[in-house]
């Protein structure tokens, strides 16, 4: 009986040890975004934000409109009417309609494709980055960011968030002052808590685009691990029965 219990403990250990592997990786040292890619409503809200505020500059070249419809529970008509502003076909990938020359003129370089941004920098980075823009007249675009200093991108969600200004610490001799905190100088269309919810939805959507198969992988993966745990236990029983006579003779 002790051997059977040990085998069951080992099998359950495999399941527990595998669960953290399903968690999304985030930026180190940053507050958690609290995203949940299994929340379809959050994914839909995030998609709406991306296509209204981000797709003008950024593409998702590894994601197709048809895949979005399937994974987000939307019809072809809903996607083509509400999310497709470039005239692309339903089966084509999401490509920004910004001309390359205009992007280089305005920002100095091409805006990056965001398909794998959550994989590259983590959802916590994306969430905190979107919440950390502030006005900075010294920058070419008039904006700066505490998470990604001197970024060439303006705040795309300023109408929702409002305008933030930086409160700097007193400069020490031979050193520059640093940003201690950000204060809201002009409210936006959303309250601070509502804006955090919106950026969480957008980060959730980008977490999904970095690995669209994550929705299926997580649901199937648990059953695979449970099957392997059960198989391990059954194989242990077979081994014990097969070698029983040998063990008894010794």
Q: How far is CA 189 from CA 41, 54, 87, 166, 202, in A?
A: 21, 18, 29, 20, 17
| 143 burial via Cβ count (<10 Å: 0-12, 13-18, 19+) | buried
57 vs 197, higher pLDDT = 197
Domain assignment of residue 26, yes or no? no
Domain assignment of residue 66, yes or no? yes
CA distance 196 to 192: 6
Q: How many CA atoms lie within 13 A of 131 on its CB side?
A: 25
Tell me the Cα Rg of the chain.
Answer: 25
Tell me the per-residue pLDDT of 41-50, one tens digit each, with 9 for 90 and over: 999 999 999 9
Domain assignment of residue 64, yes or no? yes
Domain assignment of residue 14, yes or no? no
* Mean pLDDT across the chain: 84
Tell me the per-residue pLDDT of 83-111, one tens digit each, with 9 for 90 and over: 998 889 999 999 997 766 665 556 667 78
Residue the block writes with tokens 């520059």: 176
Minimal CA–CA distance to 131: which of 33, 43, 29, 23?
Answer: 33
Amino acid 25: pLDDT:
44
Amino acid 94: pLDDT:
96
Amino acid 222: pLDDT:
75
The pairing of strands 162-168 and 60-64 is unpaired
Rounded to a whole number of angstroms, the distance between the first and last alpha carbons of the chain is 20
Q: What is the CATH number of the domain that holds 198?
A: 1.10.760.10
Amino acid 28: pLDDT:
62
What is the band of 236 on the pLDDT scale with cuts at 50, 70, 90? confident
**130 lies in which domain range?**
33-211
pLDDT above 70 (res 18): no
Amino acid 16: pLDDT:
44
Average pLDDT of 224-236? 84
pLDDT above 50 (res 22): no
What is the band of 17 on the pLDDT scale with cuts at 50, 70, 90? very low
Name residues whose C-beta falls within 8 Å of residue 191's C-beta, 6 or more positions apart in sequence.
none
Average pLDDT of 33-59? 95
| 24 burial via Cβ count (<10 Å: 0-12, 13-18, 19+) | buried
Average pLDDT of 226-238? 85
CA distance 100 to 3: 66
CA distance 119 to 96: 20
Any idea which of 42-56, 101-115, 118-132 has the lowest mean pLDDT? Answer: 101-115
Domain assignment of residue 216, yes or no? no
Average pLDDT of 65-78? 95
Tell me the per-residue pLDDT of 134-178, one tens digit each, with 9 for 90 and over: 999 999 889 999 999 998 899 999 999 999 999 988 877 777 788
Left if phi > 0, otherwise alpha if psi is -120 to 50, otherwise beta: which for 53?
alpha
pLDDT above 80 (res 130): yes
Domain assignment of residue 145, yes or no? yes
Annotated binding site for heme c: 54, 57-58
Domain assignment of residue 162, yes or no? yes
CA distance 140 to 130: 19
How many domains does one find in the chain?
A: 1
Domain assignment of residue 18, yes or no? no
Minimal CA–CA distance to 94: which of 120, 123, 68, 130?
Answer: 68
CA distance 164 to 160: 12
């Amino acid at each position: 009986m002790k051997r059977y219990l040990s085998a069951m403990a080992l099998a359950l250990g495999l399941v527990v040890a595998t669960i953290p592997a399903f968690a999304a990786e985030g930026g180190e040292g940053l507050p958690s975004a609290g995203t949940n890619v299994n929340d379809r409503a959050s994914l839909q809200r995030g998609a709406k934000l991306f296509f209204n505020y981000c797709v003008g500059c950024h593409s998702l070249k590894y994601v197709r409109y048809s895949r979005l419809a399937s994974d987000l529970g939307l019809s072809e008509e809903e996607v083509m009417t509400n999310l497709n502003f470039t005239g692309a076909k339903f089966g084509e990938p999401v490509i920004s309609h910004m001309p390359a020359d205009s992007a280089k003129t305005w920002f100095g370089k091409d805006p990056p494709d965001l398909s794998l941004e959550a994989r590259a920098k983590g959802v916590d980075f994306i969430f905190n980055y979107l919440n950390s823009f502030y006005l900075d007249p010294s920058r070419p675009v008039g904006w700066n960011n505490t998470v990604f200093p001197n970024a060439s991108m303006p705040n795309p969600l300023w109408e929702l968030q409002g305008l933030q200004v930086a409160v700097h610490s007193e400069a020490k001799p031979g050193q520059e002052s640093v940003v201690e905190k950000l204060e809201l100088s002009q409210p936006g269309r959303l309250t601070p808590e509502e804006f955090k919810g919106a950026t969480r939805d957008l980060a959730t959507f980008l977490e999904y685009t970095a690995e669209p198969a994550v929705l299926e992988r997580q649901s199937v993966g648990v059953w695979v691990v449970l099957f392997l745990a059960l198989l391990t236990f059954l194989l242990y029983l077979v081994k014990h029965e097969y070698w029983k006579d040998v063990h008894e003779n010794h």
